[in-house]
Structure formats: C-alpha cells, structure tokens
Amino acid sequence: MSLTLRGALVLGIGAALGLTLSLGAGVLAERNTAENTLPWDEARLLAEVLERVKQEYVEPVDDSVLIESAVRGMVTDLDPHSQFLDSDEYEEIRISTTGNYSGVGLEVHMDGGIVTVVAPIEGTPAERAGIKSGDRIMAIDDITVDEQKVHDTISRMRGKAGTRVKITVHREFEPEQLEFTVIRGHVQVKSVRAALLQPDYGYVRITHFSETTYKDLRKAVTQLKRSSRGELQGLILDLRDNPGGVLDAAVDVSDAFLNSGVIVSADGRGPHASFTHDARNGDILNGADLVVLVNGGSASTSEIVAGAMQDHGRATIVGSQTFGKGSVQTVMPLSNGRAIKLTTSRYFRPSGDSIHEQGVTPDILLDSADVENLTAGVLEHRTDEGAALLQHDAELREALDVLKGERIMHSKAP
C-alpha cells in the first residue's frame, strides 16, 4: 500500500489500545448523487433533538459540545473500532505510529490510577536524569497524579524540546520521594527489542507496529548475527500482547521472512479499501527456523504476521489463541486538528480465511498451568540478558525448546 496516496491514515489496530495507524490510500470519494444526500426527515430529527437539549436540559450546554457528542456517538455506534478523535486523541495516534515526540522518554504502565515506570527509553532525558524502572510517578511539576485523569500525567511530561519538567517519584526502599528536573528532548519510541538467548538462537520482541518497526527489526537481526557465531540457527519472534499498529509495518515484517506469496488481502467498499500485499524475494534469516510466540493479547496486525507465517509454513506458531481482530481502520483528518477513525476493510490470511472474531490458532498450544510450574533449569550460571529473559519467562523457554526441536510439553493444536 502506497504511503503517499492522498495522505489518509490506515490502521491495522489492536482492539486493546486502538492507537496505531499507517499512511495509506484515502477512501473518501466525492458523492454528489441524490441517493447519498442526507434524507430531510433524519436531518430534521437531529435538529429537533439539539434544539430540545439546548432549551430544556437542566444545565446549559455549548453548541460545539453537543455537536461533537453527536458525532462521537454516531461513529462509535458503528463498531467497536470506529471513533471520533479530538485534536489530543489525533495527536496520540500520530505519536504512537511515528514513534516521534518531544518529552522525557518514559515507558509507563497505568493501573488503578497508579503510574509506574516500565523503563526509561535508552538515550532519553529520563534515562540521563536517573529515573528507573519501577519508580512510581507521584507528581508532575508539583501537580499530584489524579487517578481520574492519569492521561493528563502523560501529556504534562510532553512538551517542547529544551523546556524543563519536574518529576516526583516514589522509589522502593527510599525513605522519601525523589525529585528529578528533566530537560525535555526529542524521543524515538522503539518497538523492537532483541537478545541472544543461546549461541545461534535469537529473540526479537515487537511491542507494536510503527513506521520504524521494519528498519529496527533488520537492525536487530543483524546485531544478533554479529553476537552469534555467524548465521542464526533459529529465531523467536515474540508478538505476545502486541495490540497491532501500522499495517504496512506488519506487511514488511512478514515480507522479511518470506520469499514469495500473498501476505494479506483486504476487501471493502471504498475505491482503495480492497488490496493484496505479496512478499518479495529475500529472507533475512536465510531459511533459519522461526517460532512466533502469541497469546490472547496478540491482535490485528500481529495476527497478520502470525497468519502469514503459519499459512506459508514459514514458522511454528506457539502459545494461545490470538484476539481475533481482522478489520482495517482509516483515519480521515477533519477541520481544527480533529479526525474520524473509520473501519473501511476486513482483511484475510493468505489461505483466504478471516481473522475477524476467530483469531489464529497456534500450531502448538501452551498449557498455562503446566508452563507456570516449569523450573528454570541451570540458567543461574549465566547473567546476560538472554538468560534473564529465560529465567523469568516459562513460555519463552518452551518456545526455545520448540525452536531447537527438544522437549515438548505442550499439545498440538487441532
């Protein structure tokens, strides 16, 4: 799919986050025929309701608020993935897909009004300031984190590069709260992480699909090869809890491991909503074994990758049933920095099967109860990153066994 056609934004988005997109073909066409004009009775109904609310609602409501609420309700009622985006929501989508913004560079987790630092992004102002994984953010510029408005905490950490922001955190085992004055800078959010699990066996995790994912994947595989003894014997591609993202990125990632064949096709009503993506010759692993690790949080474009690998017999899919989100959203810019995110296509695996509400069934199903009871073996003799991953991740250890053709304690999927 072209990145330049009309500049519309096409999403292969995860149902959990709903915040990722890719540049793609526009889908709006001029429709001036009488059959597509809004019927007068329906238009009058909207006008009547607006007038009643303005005149008789218990409190006065601004016209712009009423109109935005009407539009938001209209779009949201179409399906769970269509959405009206105000200027702030539109900006969040832009950040999540491009991976570029100005701020401090923290990955955070929000749960029950608590904002916890997952990790400072490498090379960012937050890392240089000394903020660490596990720190709990208590205040930004002396404004206490409000559990009802935790997203405000994130937005206050962003801002123009070169400006200052004070971040107050609680750190375990520290008697008092710590304060950090951070100079905001340009931040590049990375979606790819990699490590060498064992000699000749690599691991790549993709957290979401952004415009930089494919480039970062190639770089990661190249570094793994250098760290190994030459060509890799196998690779684990971890897509667990990956909610999706940029459609073109998922196509490129799939193409990276295939030499030919259909990757994904889509069907829709708009002039650019139906398409097929095919793989080009060139496998970055040169045919080495591949395992794709998935779970119920693997959705949308993650399922495109897993489905393509499975249908072409390129990889063994390991884990649990994926989410089952098989639709494409197009973000259509509106006036004043707003937009609508509209479902425009449904996509299909190379086999022709739909992912929507079905998901991808792994070749090897991991029994969660059995996996939780597994021990880590003799990994305590190693202290590198790969050993740390294996030590704390039983599913990853099982996937490595599958990759190496060793002990298999799980069942074949039907």
326 neighbors 346 (Cβ within 8 angstroms): yes
Task: For residue 403, list its beta bridge partners.
Answer: none
Place of tokens 């903020």: 131
In the structure encoding, which two tokens stand for residue 326, read together? 């098989």
Please name the residues in contact with 113: beta carbons below 8 A apart, sequence gap of 6 or more.
145, 146, 147, 148, 150
CA-to-CA distance for 162 and 408, rounded, in angstroms? Answer: 53
Identify the CA nearest to 13 among candidates 331, 306, 279: 331
Query: Residue 153 corresponds to which amino acid?
Result: T
Q: What burial letters (b/e) apply to 270-307, b meaning 16+ CB within 10 Å?
A: bebbebebebeeeebbeebbbbbbbbebbbbbbbbbbb
SS3 assignment, position 257: helix
Query: Count of residues for the chain?
Result: 414
SS3 assignment, position 228: coil
Q: Is 325 designated active site?
A: yes
Helix axes 247-257, 301-311, angle to 10 degrees: 20
* Gap between the terminal Cα atoms of the chain: 34
Identify the CA nearest to 154 among candidates 212, 211, 97, 88: 88
Q: 3-state SS of 131-172?
A: CCCCCEEEEECCEECCCCCHHHHHHHHCCCCCCEEEEEEECC
Q: Is 300 designated active site?
A: yes
Q: Is 132 designated active site?
A: no
Long-range contacts of 50-56 (CB under 8 A, 24+ apart): none
348 neighbors 354 (Cβ within 8 angstroms): yes
- Active-site residue among 300, 302, 320, 345? 300
- Active-site residue among 82, 325, 327, 363? 325
SS3 assignment, position 249: helix
| Catalytic residue IDs | 300, 311, 325
